[in-house]
Amino acid sequence: MKKRGEKIVSLTAYDASFAHILDKTGVEMVLVGDSLGMVVQGQSSTVPVTVEEMAYHSKIVSRGLERALLVTDLPFMSYPDPHTAVDNAAILMQQGYANMVKLEGGQKILDSVQHIVDQGIPVCGHLGLLPQSVNQLGGYRVQGKDDTQANIMIEDAKCLEQAGASAIVVECIPSSLAKRITASVSIPIIGIGAGVECDGQVLVSYDMLDITAGKRPNFSKDFMLEAGNVSAAVNAYVEAVKNKTFPAEEHSF
């Protein structure tokens, strides 16, 4: 799809019913995000989520899918070293029926990425705003705004590809940087709050349906506003990503 210039559509799901709707409306990549800690469990961050919880939600999401790629997050502190990373990735594959695992970070996690890939497990990277590191980052802020940070992130993307990653999510970064990262690697770059020039887009489904408690992120959009039902809202999102009308300028940095 990247080679054809066709946009990749992704959304999060946490149960079989949502997964079925996403699957039938043409979403290509369904992400079981550790965002479930916030939107499902009511936690203040993703940090408390466990591997066992991720495996459970991944398993029930898998029951709603027939065609979409199932990507599941490795949660906080589940990949502190390569061996632990492989053990926990195996749990998500065997118990959670994931097709791919996602982990946050750049060059610091390359050994874990490579070790996971060497065991035959596909990996998706995650750069920019790293929700699992929100305490270290000082909050949910746009990343990569200066040249030094931007250049490090571009190098991180190249290194993740060399380590064997099959895709990378970039979150809350300037659109201009996302465009540079997308052009610098041959693997798909999936954006969230990263502008329209990425190879694809992902949103937290609860955000784009406007059912998340509290303030919706600035980079999201309420697709339920004019849709009337969940399926129509997801269809509108798919079409908007495909025809490049989402994200618009007001959803970008």
Q: Is there a binding annotation on residue 102?
A: yes
35 marked as binding residue: yes
One DSSP character per residue, 141-200 reads -----SHHHHHHHHHHHHHHHHHT-SEEEEES--HHHHHHHHHH-SS-EEEESS-TTSSE
* Residue from 124, 109, 140 nearest 45 by CA: 140
Of the candidates 66, 171, 197, 239, the residue annotated as catalytic is 171
Q: Is 112 annotated as a binding residue?
A: no
Q: Please, are residues 85 and 103 in contact by the beta-carbon 8 Å criterion?
A: yes
Q: Which helix (H) or strand (E) holds 208?
A: helix 205-208
Asked if residue 10 belongs to a known ligand binding site, the reply is no
Burial of 229: CB neighbours in 10 Å, binned 0-12, 13-18, 19+:
exposed
28 is annotated as an active-site residue: no
Binding-site sequence positions for Mg(2+): 34, 73, 104
Binding-site sequence positions for 3-methyl-2-oxobutanoate: 34-35, 73, 102
Active site residues: 171
